[in-house]
């Protein structure tokens, strides 16, 4: 393996032909045969922010002679039609890959925290498309770490380490919704590192600093849920009490105390951590205590 002295493997995936894909500190992923022999690099190229370019230059300058054997040739570069207009090869740099996943159809998903994107290849390592937008606000990826594909619904679930959320995309990479947020209650996360989907479509999240795994069942409504339904989900007892009062089943007016309790139950306070949208630098594996 080129640069084996400083080799730091992070994630690994194996396809149905036995090829091994390894995400490490190098740009792109290593492709090895079933016996572990080096075959080639799979390196998506993209435009990097100024901070990412500076970090990449520093990384290249610190490599030793053995690590410099890494080939520059890239397999599966972004096709011309997917590149920014007028850019061509200019401005495109091999990106740092944090995670790698292979779905049941053999498609390969490469996760880059550096660009906030997931790069998708078919089983023959031909680039298909990329999705995701770098940023720290809802619908954007700050530090994506893992991706898992629902074999039934074809949804792609991405864990965001710094935004403490799971973002869900359709099979074309269009953003659908997200769930989670920073906290220790059920359904909240503290630095989720990975996500998988089982054969039943359940989403399982590795919740690092809450020291647990959380299992979710993603439900979809054919029609938009009513306000009554949402209130019932948020606080079933309070919603039921509100419906009884509105129907006139109770002749007695609610006391100030019971009214206050119902209001507090229906509208829980939710806080959210917001990060800058642009030029987010790399974060340590563990947050500052």
pLDDT tens for residues 205-246?
Answer: 999 999 999 999 987 655 555 667 666 766 655 545 556 565
- The CA distance from 234 to 207, in Å, is 23
User: Is pLDDT at 98 greater than 70 in this prediction?
Assistant: yes
Sheet of strand 202-207: strand arrangement: 192-197, 202-207, 212-217
CA distances to 247, 248, 254, 258 from 251, rounded to whole Å, are: 10, 7, 9, 15
The residues, ordered by sequence, that sit 6+ positions from 93 with a Cβ below 8 Å of its Cβ are 27, 45, 46, 47, 48, 53, 56
Tokens of 138: 């809802």
- The CA distance from 85 to 275, in Å, is 29
179 bridge partner residues? 166
- Average of pLDDT values for 192-209? 95
Helices 227-234, 256-266: crossing angle, 10 deg rounding: 100
Place of tokens 């053999």: 106
Question: What is the structure's pLDDT at 57?
Answer: 61
- The CA distance from 14 to 191, in Å, is 26
CA angle, 97 then 285 then 198, to 5°:
65
Q: What is the DSSP letter of 209?
A: G
13 bridge partner residues? 21
User: Is pLDDT at 120 greater than 60 in this prediction?
Assistant: yes
CA distances to 12, 142, 205 from 208, rounded to whole Å, are: 19, 17, 9
Q: How confident is the model at residue 14 (pLDDT cuts 50, 70, 90)?
A: very high
Question: What is the structure's pLDDT at 282?
Answer: 41
- pLDDT tens string 155-170: 999 999 999 999 999 9
- Average of pLDDT values for 88-95? 74
Q: What is the DSSP letter of 182?
A: B
The residue length of the chain stands at 289
User: Is pLDDT at 129 greater than 70 in this prediction?
Assistant: yes
Q: Give the residue from 283, 271, 272, 273 showing the smallest Cα distance to 116.
A: 283
* 261 SS3 class: helix
User: Is pLDDT at 270 greater than 80 in this prediction?
Assistant: no
Tokens of 48: 């990097």
Decide: 67 and 3 in contact? Cβ < 8 Å.
Answer: yes
Question: What is the structure's pLDDT at 56?
Answer: 60
Decide: 101 and 107 in contact? Cβ < 8 Å.
Answer: no
- The CA distance from 233 to 187, in Å, is 14
């Amino acid at each position: 393996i080129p640069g084996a002295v400083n080799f730091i493997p992070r994630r690994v995936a194996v396809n149905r032909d036995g090829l091994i894909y390894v995400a490490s500190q190098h740009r792109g992923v290593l492709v090895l045969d079933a016996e572990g022999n080096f075959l080639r690099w799979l390196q998506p190229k993209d435009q990097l922010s100024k901070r990412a370019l500076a970090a990449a230059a520093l990384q290249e300058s610190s490599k030793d002679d053995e690590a410099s054997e890494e080939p520059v040739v890239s397999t599966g570069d972004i096709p011309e039609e997917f590149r920014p207009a007028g850019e061509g090869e200019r401005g495109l740099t091999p990106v740092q890959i944090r995670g790698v996943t292979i779905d049941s159809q053999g498609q390969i998903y490469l996760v880059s925290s550096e660009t906030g994107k997931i790069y998708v290849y078919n089983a023959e390592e031909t680039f298909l498309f990329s999705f995701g937008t770098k940023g720290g606000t809802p619908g954007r990826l700050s530090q994506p770490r893992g991706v898992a594909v629902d074999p039934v619904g074809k949804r792609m679930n991405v864990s965001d380490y710094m935004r403490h959320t799971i973002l869900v995309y359709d099979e074309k990479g269009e953003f659908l919704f997200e769930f989670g947020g920073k906290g220790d209650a059920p359904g909240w996360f503290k630095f989720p590192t990975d996500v998988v989907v089982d054969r039943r479509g359940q989403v399982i999240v590795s919740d690092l600093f809450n020291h647990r795994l959380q299992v979710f069942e993603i439900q979809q409504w054919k029609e938009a849920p009513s306000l009554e339904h949402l209130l019932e989900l948020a606080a079933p007892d309070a919603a039921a009490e509100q419906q009884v009062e509105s129907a006139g089943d109770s002749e007695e007016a609610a006391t100030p105390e019971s009214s206050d309790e119902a209001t507090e139950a229906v509208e829980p306070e939710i806080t959210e951590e917001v990060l800058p949208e642009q030029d987010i630098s790399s974060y340590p594996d563990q947050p500052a205590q």
